[in-house]
Amino acid sequence: MRPPLDLSLYLVTDTRLCGDRGVAATVAAAVRGGVTAVQLRDPGADARALFSLGRAIQGELHGTGVPLIVNDRLDVAVWLGADGVHLGQRDVSPEVARRLLGPDAYVGLSVSRAEQLAGVTDAVDHLGVGPVFPQTTKPDADEPIGLDGLARIVRESPLPCVAIGGIGVAEVAGVMGSGAAGVAVVSAVCGRPDPEAAARSLVHVLRQEASA
């Protein structure tokens, strides 16, 4: 069995924000800066384009020990032989994902309300909780739950939680104070001129919080 996923600094890709640098190069830089997990997310890409992008990212991640998780698209995760999949509440069930990806895969599930915890099964490894703060990278996201909402879900969850939504360096301390296992970021890395330096800044604050 694989060890639990290191959720401390979880990068979710955004093709538009990565711009001319490209997603794969952005991922490579972010991993050098300390990113511990990468989620491939591009809802506008078709299966062929997403598969090609996933292959390029896998090339950059080879030998780093950093896993690649595919957002929503279980079919692409299977084709890539990815390390796991992250599912929304309206996606294919985690049980199906577990059956197709196997016992060693990482299966994450998005949660935005404490009531959704009742539907979490042992097919899921960890939860993505949010959006915590207002954000602009996912137009169809639920309303922000704030730190109080995050803390409630973390407190009631049987699984480790990674917080997502509007999180940058300034928000890390409050998020980690809620008991979250880590932070998931998009624009705080993908939207920066130097993704490696941006990741290092986040890691610095995360280490400060861990030692406090």
- The answer to the question of whether 6 is labelled as a binding residue is no
- The answer to the question of whether 72 is labelled as a binding residue is yes
The length of the chain in residues reads 212
Q: Which of 8, 98, 110, 192 is catalytic?
A: 110
Q: Which of 21, 32, 93, 138 is catalytic?
A: 138
Q: Look up 98 and say whether it is catalytic.
A: no
Distance separating alpha carbons of residues 95 and 100, to the nearest angstrom: 9
- The answer to the question of whether 88 is labelled as a binding residue is no
Q: Which of 41, 73, 98, 192 is catalytic?
A: 41
- The answer to the question of whether 187 is labelled as a binding residue is yes
Q: What is the CA radius of gyration of the chain?
A: 16
- The answer to the question of whether 20 is labelled as a binding residue is no
According to the 3-state scheme, what is the secondary structure of the chain? CCCCCCCCEEEECCHHHHHHHCHHHHHHHHHHCCCCEEEECCCCCCHHHHHHHHHHHHHHHCCCCCCEEEECCHHHHHHHCCCEEEECCCCCCHHHHHHHHCCCCEEEEEECCHHHHHHCCCCCCEEEECCCCCCCCCCCCCCCCHHHHHHHHHHHCCCCEEEECCCCHHHHHHHHHCCCCEEEECHHHHCCCCHHHHHHHHHHHHHHHHHC
Q: Look up 41 and say whether it is catalytic.
A: yes
Task: Answer yes or no: are the C-beta atoms of 172 and 212 closer than 8 Å.
Answer: no
Active site amino acids: 41, 110, 138
Known binding positions for Mg(2+):
72, 91
Q: What residues are designated binding site?
A: 71-72, 91, 110, 138, 166, 186-187
